[in-house]
């Protein structure tokens, strides 16, 4: 017997926004179920115990890895490899996604107040490094995934390695990393969704003579407008 979805439900699943939201929602749901506060799956403590039986890592490689996919995408554009957008628009999209990502992640850390595995602070959920890494990987996927699936594979492999290092270094719980991945993907998808409208609004009446660069520093979001006279 062939299973058929109701036409309205099938139509809903076919919407690009729904498909783009599916993975972040799934990751965030798993993260919440695995946290110490909910502990429905008892994954955080179990995984931490197993990892630290066999793994002891001291490295700062994760600090650099988190931005590698985005820098690689921008480098490809500068080298003449055509992406979905021009180099300038790629830079602006990355700036916007980074701002959205930093804002959401920082506020979630403050709201959730989850203690780190090493009891060094209450800013564990979600992982900032993982969030930035998956935001950058999604940026590469959006720009170059259409040219070759290996660009996407490379970006998400680096992002996954970043999250793995955060767990191995005992900086985060598994739930923090899952949540970071979900927030990172959602941040870049949101940036690509609002960028066309935002660019039109901020350059209205100025045409292509204006460039808007979003920014985020010390908890404050802003933007720099450059106008060619």
Question: Is the pLDDT at 199 greater than 80, yes or no?
Answer: no
Position 214 scores a pLDDT of 57
Position 206 scores a pLDDT of 54
Position 129 scores a pLDDT of 96
Position 209 scores a pLDDT of 54
Position 218 scores a pLDDT of 53
Q: Mean pLDDT check: name the lowest of 2-11, 69-78, 142-151, 192-201.
A: 2-11
Q: Give CA separation, 127 vs 31, 70, 112, 220, in Å.
A: 11, 18, 12, 19
Structure-model confidence comparison of residues 27 and 71, the more confident one: 71
Question: Is the pLDDT at 12 greater than 50, yes or no?
Answer: no
Question: Is the pLDDT at 79 greater than 50, yes or no?
Answer: yes
Position 31 scores a pLDDT of 79
Structure-model confidence comparison of residues 201 and 154, the more confident one: 154
Q: Phi first, then psi: give them for residue 221, nearest 5 degrees.
A: -95, 145
- Express each pLDDT in 15-65 by its tens digit: 566 666 777 888 888 777 766 555 544 677 778 888 878 877 888 999 999
Average pLDDT over residues 171-180: 94
Question: Is the pLDDT at 4 greater than 60, yes or no?
Answer: no
Average pLDDT over residues 147-173: 95
The interaxial angle of helices 68-78 and 149-168, nearest 10 deg, is 150
Question: Is the pLDDT at 161 greater than 60, yes or no?
Answer: yes
Position 208 scores a pLDDT of 53
Reported confidence tier of residue 224, pLDDT bands at 50, 70, 90: low
Position 229 scores a pLDDT of 42
- Express each pLDDT in 89-143 by its tens digit: 899 899 999 999 999 999 999 999 999 998 888 999 999 999 999 999 999 999 9
Position 1 scores a pLDDT of 45
């Amino acid at each position: 017997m062939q299973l058929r979805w109701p036409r309205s439900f099938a139509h809903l699943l076919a919407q690009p926004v729904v498909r783009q939201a599916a993975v972040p929602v799934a990751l965030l749901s798993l993260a919440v179920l695995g946290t110490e506060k909910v502990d429905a799956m008892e994954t955080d403590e179990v995984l931490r115990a197993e990892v630290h039986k066999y793994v002891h890592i001291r490295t700062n490689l994760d600090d650099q890895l988190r931005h590698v996919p985005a820098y690689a995408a921008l480098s490809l554009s500068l080298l003449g490899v055509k992406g979905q957008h021009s180099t300038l628009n790629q830079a602006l999209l990355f700036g916007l996604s980074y701002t959205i990502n930093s804002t959401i992640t920082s506020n979630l850390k403050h709201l959730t107040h989850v203690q780190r595995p090493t009891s060094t602070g209450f800013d564990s959920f979600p992982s900032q490094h993982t969030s930035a890494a998956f935001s950058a990987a999604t940026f590469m996927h959006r720009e170059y995934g259409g040219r070759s699936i290996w660009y996407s594979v490379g970006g998400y492999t680096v992002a996954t390695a970043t999250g793995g290092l955060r767990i191995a270094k005992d900086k985060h719980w598994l739930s923090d990393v899952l949540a970071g991945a979900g927030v990172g993907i959602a941040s870049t998808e949101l940036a690509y969704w609002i960028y066309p409208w935002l660019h039109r609004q901020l350059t209205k009446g100025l045409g292509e003579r204006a460039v808007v660069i979003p920014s985020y520093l010390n908890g404050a979001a802003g933007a720099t407008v450059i106008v060619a006279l």
